[in-house]
Amino acid sequence: MKALHLVCEPPRAERAVLVGHGARDRDRLAHSLDELSLLADTAGARVLGRIAQRRGPIHPATFIGRGKLEELKTEVEEWDADLVIFDDDLSPAQVRNLEKALGRKVVDRSELILDIFAKRARTRESRLQVELAQLEYSLPRLTGLWKHLERQAGGIGTRGPGETQLETDRRIVRERIARLKQSLERVERERETQRRRRRRELRAALIGYTNAGKSTLFNGLTRSRVQVEDRLFATLDATTRQMVSRDRKVALVTDTVGFIRKLPHHLVASFHSTLAETVEANLLLHVVDAADPDFRHRMGVVEAVMEEILPAPRPTTLVFNKSDRIREDLAAGLRAEFSGCFVVSARTGEGLAQLREFVWDQASGRPWSRAS
Ligand SMILES: Nc1nc2c(ncn2[C@@H]2O[C@H](COP(=O)(O)OP(=O)(O)OP(=O)(O)O)[C@@H](O)[C@H]2O)c(=O)[nH]1
Ligand SMILES: [Mg+2]
């Protein structure tokens, strides 16, 4: 009986303390830490509290200043935390110094996001992409892990003469990275063949911040059933479906991974094959959660990521979603401020008919845009 009890008991969630640093903008720091808290929750941690350093420069050795570090140490011990999560990226040396000073595991924002992606990746393609990003992230962080073994140069087996354990590790990681890249290139070639077949049709891609409602809108537009969740990064793969009008006009719509502020650079690079669907689209629909008080900043984040992945700027149509959660005067203000935008509710269906018409209108000038 006892064994059964042990098996059934859920694993204890890791208890985490969040740390932010932001000298200038108090609201921005608060929003960023709210989001970090959601990310930590998505990764399966329990957030006990947060600490922010509002003044002073970034400390090269420990990121936060000595006084703040003392305060953090006291809190971590009082709260009995297992884990400290920093809202910014830390250098490998900073992580080492902080872990030594705090006696707890320390992770940064990139590592947390990578962890969530690893947990959520379901398809072969997204698994390959996440593993590649994780290895690229960890490569410079292997330094020192094997310091104690470095004297044993010239080991047996795979190690070459004079090679240290650290070098062996790096070599293994680099080889794995090369193999992953090859596999991803194969996937990309397959996708490219599919895309070439679809080149005549209008391709619209839904882009936007994570949790903006892209998948819900995709389902509404194409009458599909991709997964929708009130969680960050519910979608990691690109899905494409046809949208056919009553008079047989056809457009292809793609739903894809969402963006977030401080998205790890390695992830953007390794999600190349998924994002290719977006890069190659003729029409970009930028889905914005209009009910989010921070939506303007989030729009800027999405635009910055698009700039990173698109070879040249591309006209984009703004779709303000979740209109059921905003007041009519805000909706009117958005229509006035962003000409040509759509204000819709993917949940109630409000505004979707006009948005469909717009997409089909864009499609109708194309020679093979009609379903046979
Ligand atoms: N009130 C309201 N909620 C919505 C609307 N559209 C989506 N949602 C909710 O917003 C949450 C996120 O929706 P998703 O469609 O998964 O968002 P997403 O942009 O695909 O998110 P990621 O895949 O994580 O990037 C879910 O809880 C949806 O039910 C809407 O028009 N109104
Ligand atoms: Mg989604």
Q: For the chain, give every domain's residue range.
A: 13-107, 119-182, 198-364
Instruction: Assess whether pLDDT exceeds 80 at residue 3.
Output: no
Q: What is the mean pLDDT of residues 8-33?
A: 83
Confidence category of residue 229, pLDDT binned at 50, 70, 90 = confident
In a mutational test of the pocket of ligand 1, which residue from 119, 207, 216 has the highest number of ligand atoms less than 8 Å from its CB?
216
Q: Given strand 46-53, what is the order of strands in its sheet?
A: 46-53, 15-21, 83-86, 105-107
Beta strands in the chain, from DSSP E residues, in sequence order: 15-21, 46-53, 83-86, 105-107, 202-208, 239-244, 250-255, 283-289, 316-321, 342-343
What is the rounded CA–CA span in Å between residue 187 and residue 201?
22
- CB count, 10 Å around CB of 86? 23
Per-residue model confidence (pLDDT) at position 80: 94
pLDDT of residue 156: 43
Q: Using most ligand atoms within 8 A of CB, pick from 217, 226, 229 the residue to mutate for ligand 1.
A: 229
Range 13-107 classified under CATH 3.40.50.11060 = yes
Tokens of 152: 């044993």
Residue 43 in tokens? 């990764």
112-159 per-position pLDDT tens digit: 999 999 998 988 999 999 999 999 998 888 765 444 444 444 444 444
Angle (CA) 16 20 21, round 5°: 155
- Rg of the chain over Cα atoms, rounded to whole angstroms, equals 24
Give nearest CA residue, ligand 1 atom 1: 322
Q: Is the CB of 347 under 6 A from ligand 1?
A: yes
Residue 52's DSSP bridge partners are: 20
pLDDT above 70 coverage of the chain, percent? 88
**Higher-scoring residue by pLDDT: 151, 343:** 343
Q: What is the pLDDT of residue 280?
A: 86
The pLDDT of residue 112 is 94
Ligand 1 atom with the shortest distance to the CA of 325: 1
Top pLDDT among 315 and 304 is at: 304
Do residues 321 and 288 touch, judged by C-beta distance below 8 A? yes
Pick the ligand that lies closest to the CA of residue 289: 1
Cα 94 from Cα 92, distance rounded (Å):
6
Q: Which of 120, 228, 257 to mutate to test the pocket of ligand 1 (most atoms within 8 A of CB)?
A: 228
> Residue with the nearest Cα to atom 3 of ligand 1?
322
Which single residue is written with the structure tokens 């800027």?
Answer: 300
Topology agreement, domain 13-107 and domain 198-364: yes
Indicate whether residue 42 lines ligand 1 (CB < 6 A): no
Q: How far, in Å, CA of 106 to CA of 16, rounded?
A: 10
User: What average pLDDT does the segment 174-182 reach?
Assistant: 95
Edge-first strand listing for the sheet containing 202-208: 239-244, 250-255, 202-208, 283-289, 316-321, 342-343
The CB density around residue 149, as the number of other CB atoms within 10 Å, is 14
H-run or E-run covering 356? helix 352-364
pTM: 0.87
Looking at residues 43-64, what average pLDDT do you find?
A: 93
Structural contact between residues 94 and 61, judged by C-beta atoms closer than 8 angstroms: yes
Query: Which residue puts its alpha carbon closest to atom 6 of ligand 1?
Result: 213
Beta bridge partners of 251: 202, 243
Residue 83 neighbours by CB under 8 Å, 6+ apart: 14, 15, 16, 17, 45, 104, 105, 106, 107
**Does residue 370 have a pLDDT over 80?**
no
Q: Which CATH architecture best describes the domain 198-364? A: 3-Layer(aba) Sandwich (3.40)
Does the beta carbon of 274 sit less than 6 angstroms from any atom of ligand 1?
Answer: no
Which amino acid type is present at position 266?
H
d(CA 344, CA 351): 5
